């Protein structure tokens, strides 16, 4: 479809310095020589136009594509909402693949394994990330029927996937991201838990152990549990659950890997169990999907939903504005499904059946700063529930509205929604909380539902660029308190936090907390609060100081289970040589 004509009065977007670098490197279109020929304004219009034009297909829609394109443009350029990176990169281009999240099956035969490698390569080329479960592969040293030889096991194949990813840089700069999952009852589980113990090993993979209710029960009971050969279904051994959990914790303490996902819990929330079991998530864990399923995500910047109270004093959330953004964003994301060209027929078919979208939030810490509520407080946790409950309810209401206009998702009748007579809905899932690694840079907001890593810090992006950032709400508050000075900012950039700066007013030190100031329990409580009202999952890293102990991590992994999270990832400061975020001078 040719692009809609750009309105003459379209305002230029305001772009922060860091966003300029990121957009130019990865998002604005380039010619064959690598020279950028698209302005940021043209980029946002390309996306707005391509997504709005899908509207034209629906006769029942009262919305006109040209007017909608303008609304989408304003929505994005005011940084109230941004779709996931592949949509920004590819909408309205020849690539046309717009989803960030994919899960591919890995079958227990050579053909199936290499099909998955090939399919992953195709997805990575378009900017998407892939998740795989390796649980169906027979264990190392089991017999291979056709040759009489022995199998090399999931780990050996995982290395091939990793190597293939290394060779395919996405769009020239974005390297592929993968999730690898192995069930805890797979015979090779111990090798898998230790797979990333050497720094740099399997660098293109996040690894998570798929934990079951049965296993967690066995940890609790200090009992043994069975290891089951996936190819025969036979029990081939037992392990002590607590010992396995201990080693898992040890490895996560050493390097952050592996994380954990609770498979039974994920499947309890599988809206379409008749289509199969969910065995993996996308790379950052927030999007559980069926084999061959894809999902596009988008995030609302909550920092923009702050309103000064009517008397100019009592701050609050602008609920009406939030509602408007949610409804427009759901329409956007549903259109993205139609606009997207998927790299495989199986994926097109699967996405067409469930029409999953993942609307989430970013800028949560920014909103709390504006409301003057400390992240590590029960008030913040309660507010998180209230906000996400609202987002989920309004997103579903928007999806219902779309179902009226365009029909329900094709598997609705057999879905858990259909069986409970809850719909009809246009989408099998509507909410997901993504990490918003790049989106938050573009929007200039705090990422996802994370606390700020530091109030002022140096950000390493895309391998070698270093960007200095100070949180604007912090800066404003310092100025308001007459405490701002260049010298102070330098001091803060070195350590990130103001917790120990006794000379600063107590009310600032109370509200402007960073991830390192926050007890791990608050990270988890916050994750659980958002999870309670999120259809899919919540991307969250429990950031820990270098001094955190193995017991701390044990406690976090266990509490994530108790609190109803779908998984959890920890990161102990300094436990990897290359960190995305760091304080100090960035070296
Ligand atoms: P963004 O901010 O770029 O839209 P997020 O950080 O929110 O992306 O990540 C969302 C999802 O996008 C990830 O879980 C993953 O599925 C995919 N993704 C992120 N980074 C990459 C990457 N480098 N390569 C491939 N996929 C990625």
The backbone torsions φ and ψ at residue 150, rounded to the nearest 5 degrees and listed phi first, read -120, 150
pLDDT value at position 574? 86
Whole-Å CA distances, 210 to 147, 178, 200, 274, 566: 31, 15, 23, 21, 10
Atom nearest to 101 CA in ligand 1: 16
Give the span between the Cα atoms of 174 and 94, in whole angstroms: 18
pLDDT value at position 469? 73
Closest to 450 in 3D by CA, of 358, 516, 372, 534: 516
| Residues with a known catalytic role | 282, 284, 286
Give the span between the Cα atoms of 192 and 181, in whole angstroms: 9
In a domain, 53, yes or no: no
What distance in angstroms lies between residue 436's CA and the mean position of ligand 1's atoms?
Answer: 7
Q: Cis check for the bond before 424: say yes or no (omega within 30 of 0).
A: yes
What distance in angstroms lies between residue 177's CA and the mean position of ligand 1's atoms?
Answer: 7
Q: Is residue 389 lining ligand 1, measured as CB closer than 6 Å?
A: no
- Contacts of 385 by beta carbon, 8 Å cutoff, 6+ apart: 529, 530, 532, 533
pLDDT digits (tens, 9 = 90+) for 289-334: 999 999 999 999 999 999 877 666 667 999 999 999 999 999 999 9
Q: How many domains does the chain have?
A: 1
* Domain coverage including residue 148: 106-281
Q: What is the DSSP-derived secondary structure letter of residue 457?
A: E
Give the span between the Cα atoms of 389 and 509, in whole angstroms: 29
Give the span between the Cα atoms of 170 and 122, in whole angstroms: 10
Q: Is residue 126 lining ligand 1, measured as CB closer than 6 Å?
A: no
Are 151 and 144 contacting, i.e. CB atoms less than 8 angstroms apart? yes
Computed over its alpha carbons, how large is the radius of gyration of the chain? 24
What distance in angstroms lies between residue 102's CA and the mean position of ligand 1's atoms?
Answer: 11
In a domain, 61, yes or no: no
Atom nearest to 102 CA in ligand 1: 16
In a domain, 203, yes or no: yes
Q: Is residue 128 lining ligand 1, measured as CB closer than 6 Å?
A: yes
pLDDT beneath 50: ranges in the chain: 170, 578-587
Are 317 and 306 contacting, i.e. CB atoms less than 8 angstroms apart? yes
Closest to 537 in 3D by CA, of 303, 219, 208, 304: 208
pLDDT value at position 585? 32
Q: Is residue 299 lining ligand 1, measured as CB closer than 6 Å?
A: no
In a domain, 234, yes or no: yes
In a domain, 286, yes or no: no
What distance in angstroms lies between residue 26's CA and the mean position of ligand 1's atoms?
Answer: 13
Q: Whose CA is nearest to atom 10 of ligand 1?
A: 434
* CATH number for the domain harbouring residue 188: 3.20.70.20
Strands 81-83 and 294-301: antiparallel
In a domain, 572, yes or no: no
Q: Is residue 125 lining ligand 1, measured as CB closer than 6 Å?
A: no
In a domain, 257, yes or no: yes
Mind giving me the DSSP string for 484-497? Answer: --HHHHHHHHHHS-
Give the span between the Cα atoms of 180 and 137, in whole angstroms: 12
In a domain, 513, yes or no: no
Residue with tokens 């394994």: 113
């Amino acid at each position: 479809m040719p692009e809609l004509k750009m309105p003459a009065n379209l305002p230029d977007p305001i772009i922060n310095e860091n966003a300029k670098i990121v957009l130019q490197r990865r998002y604005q279109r380039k010619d064959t020589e690598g020279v950028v020929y698209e302005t940021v304004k043209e980029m946002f219009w390309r996306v707005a136009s391509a997504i709005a034009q899908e509207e034209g297909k629906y006769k029942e829609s009262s919305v006109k594509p040209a007017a909608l394109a303008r609304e989408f443009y304003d929505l994005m350029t005011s940084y109230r909402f941004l779709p996931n990176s592949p949509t920004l990169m590819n909408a309205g281009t020849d690539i046309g693949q717009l989803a960030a999240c994919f899960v591919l099956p890995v079958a227990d035969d050579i053909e199936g394994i290499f099909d998955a490698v090939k399919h992953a390569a195709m997805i990575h080329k378009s900017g998407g990330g892939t998740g795989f479960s390796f649980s169906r592969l027979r264990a190392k040293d089991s017999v291979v029927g056709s040759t009489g030889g022995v199998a090399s096991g999931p780990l050996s194949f995982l290395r091939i996937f990793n190597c293939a990813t290394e060779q395919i840089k996405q769009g020239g700069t974005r390297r592929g991201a993968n999730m690898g999952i192995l069930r805890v009852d797979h015979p090779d589980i111990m090798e898998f838990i230790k797979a990333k113990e050497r720094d740099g090993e399997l660098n293109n993979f996040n690894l998570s152990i798929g934990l079951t209710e049965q296993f967690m029960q066995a940890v609790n009971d200090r009992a043994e549990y069975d290891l089951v050969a996936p190819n025969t279904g036979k029990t081939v051994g037992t392990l002590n659950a607590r010992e396995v959990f201990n080693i898992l914790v040890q490895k996560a303490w050493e390097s952050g890997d592996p994380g954990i996902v609770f498979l039974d819990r994920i499947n309890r929330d599988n809206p379409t169990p008749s289509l199969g079991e969910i065995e993996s998530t996308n790379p950052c864990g927030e999007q559980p999907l069926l084999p061959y399923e894809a999902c596009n995500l988008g995030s609302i910047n909550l920092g923009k939903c702050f309103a000064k109270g009517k008397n100019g004093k009592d701050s609050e959330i602008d609920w009406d504005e939030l509602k408007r953004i949610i409804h427009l964003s759901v329409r956007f994301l549903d259109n993205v499904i139609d606009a997207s060209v998927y790299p495989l027929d199986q994926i097109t078919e699967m996405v067409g059946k469930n029409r999953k979208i993942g609307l989430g939030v970013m800028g949560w810490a920014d909103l709390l700063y504006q409301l003057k509520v400390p992240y590590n407080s029960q008030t913040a946790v309660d507010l998180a529930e209230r906000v996400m409950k609202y987002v989920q309810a309004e997103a579903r209401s928007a999806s219902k509205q779309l179902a009226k206009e365009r029909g329900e998702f094709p598997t609705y009748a057999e879905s858990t929604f259909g069986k409970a007579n809850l719909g009809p809905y246009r989408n099998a899932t509507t909410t997901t909380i993504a990490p918003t690694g790049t989106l938050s840079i573009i929007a200039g907001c705090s990422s996802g539902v994370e606390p700020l890593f530091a109030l002022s810090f140096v950000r390493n992006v895309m391998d070698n660029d270093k960007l200095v950032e100070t949180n604007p709400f912090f800066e404003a508050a310092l100025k308001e308190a007459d405490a701002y000075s260049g010298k102070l900012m330098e001091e803060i950039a070195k350590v990130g936090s103001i917790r120990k700066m006794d000379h600063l007013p107590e009310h600032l030190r109370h509200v402007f907390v960073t991830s390192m100031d926050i007890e791990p329990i608050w990270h988890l409580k916050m994750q659980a609060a958002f999870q309670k009202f999120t259809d899919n999952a919540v991307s969250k890293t429990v950031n820990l100081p270098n001094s955190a102990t193995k017991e701390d991590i044990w406690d976090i992994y266990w509490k994530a289970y108790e609190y109803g999270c779908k998984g959890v990832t920890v990161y102990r400061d300094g436990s990897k040589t290359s960190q995305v975020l760091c304080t100090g001078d960035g070296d």
